[in-house]
Amino acid sequence: MTVRRSSLHGSLRAPSSKSYTHRALFCAALARGESTLHSPLICDDTLASAEALSKLGVTTQWEEGNAHVSGLRELRKPSSEIHCGESGTTLRFMTAVCATTPHDAHISGGPSLLRRPVGDLALALQKLGARCSCDHGCPPVHVRGPIKGGSVEIPGNVSSQYVSALLLAAPLAKIRVEVAVGGRLESKSYVGMTLEMQRKFAVHVDAADDLGRLGSEPQEYMPSDVEIEGDWSSAAYLLAATTIAGEKVNVDGLAPETHQADRHMLRIIEKMSGRANVKSGCVTVERSQLKPVEVDVADCPDLFPAVCVLCAVADGISTITGTRRLRIKESDRVLAMSNGLKRMGIETRQSENSFTIRGGTLRDAIIDPNRDHRIAMAFAALGLRTDEATILDAECVRKSYPSFWQDLQCLGADVKAH
């Protein structure tokens, strides 16, 4: 895709939440009977979850903006290898869910997924009574349950998906499961999203206020009808694009009171003297002259590329901390943003856990997003401030936001496919 200098204006609805859709699919799969998900996100990652669950006998029908999931209390033996595409959430959740069954499961995925860690989750499932192994802490994973229960500790600074995966499986254990989080739990809001979705399916987990200790008695998931709210993670790229290259854009469908950590995008824009407000689920942003910022993204890592967009045009030096875990996402996001920004003429400096950007004038560039959806969206936003920026492998946005390019065009962006 080639993006040229243009100004955004108008209104649109945010895509539905990928994280909530994943969690709803798994909770529905574990409930005996049919559940309906209203307004689920249909993207490569959520389709990967539905396809993976189908290998265990769970059926999902997508129709008229809904997903109808026929869940099973007794999951079947996998019909073949379970392939998770490039979805880390699917990999971790499926590993834990398969550990609740007495069947052998082989779980794998695409090239970037095979580099993402799962070792600590495998060890935790072993301690709960399953057989679970992987080479060098990464997929593919071999697992066979069922888990019995007991107490286990999981590190909180690698992936909150480990904790969420254990919580999804815990109600199906024979005895109570206690999960202790070692160290600080990063991306804590995502665990809150898991607990919220479990409550919608009649599962209740005891949780300390800081989510450092969690416990679940044996219990059953019950079928449910749930509404999937809008996705702050994907909307953040529209908000960033408008702030640096827009007139005024309204984004509907974003809940201001939500567990989604990426709602903090509004606070970051405001901290940089940007103009943004939210009223009745509609977020309004306007083009703004931005000042530099110091911001920690440890609890909202998916915002990192979007925050880089703002910092690249701010007048001064910005510092983003909490970046360590970004090196084990779909790409090394710190390196990918550094390389791309340098191609656009922006000075950067990186360390183990921080990233510094000196804002400046953007120049034309050809950007390789390393097949990372959020990197592609970030440089598409920056392209609106150039005469011409070309984003390679632009279709990678299908991982989380399939209509991204069309939505940009609807808001007035000069975007053309090659």
So which residues are the catalytic ones?
A: 302
- Cα dihedral sign for 362, 366, 371, 373? positive
Is the omega angle on the peptide bond into residue 146 within 30 degrees of 0, that is, cis?
Answer: yes
Q: How far is Cα 345 from Cα 409, in angstroms, rounded to an integer?
A: 26
Q: How far is Cα 143 from Cα 99, in angstroms, rounded to an integer?
A: 6
User: In 3D, which of 183, 20, 14, 2 has the Cα closest to residue 89?
Assistant: 20
User: In 3D, which of 256, 249, 300, 255 has the Cα closest to residue 275?
Assistant: 249
Q: How far is Cα 191 from Cα 403, in angstroms, rounded to an integer?
A: 27
User: In 3D, which of 195, 282, 152, 177 has the Cα closest to residue 230?
Assistant: 282
Q: Give the single-character DSSP code of 165.
A: H
The token duo for 25 is 């699919």
Torsion of CA 154, 160, 161, 167, to 10 degrees: 60
DSSP string, 10-51: EEEEPPBPHHHHHHHHHHHHTBSEEEEEES---SHHHHHHHH
Half-sphere exposure of 24 (CA within 13 A, CB side): 29
DSSP string, 337-352: HHHHHHHTT-EEEE-S
Angle between helices 160-169 and 18-29 (to 10 degrees): 20
On whether the CB atoms of residues 97 and 57 are closer than 8 A, the answer is no
Q: How far is Cα 235 from Cα 194, in angstroms, rounded to an integer?
A: 21
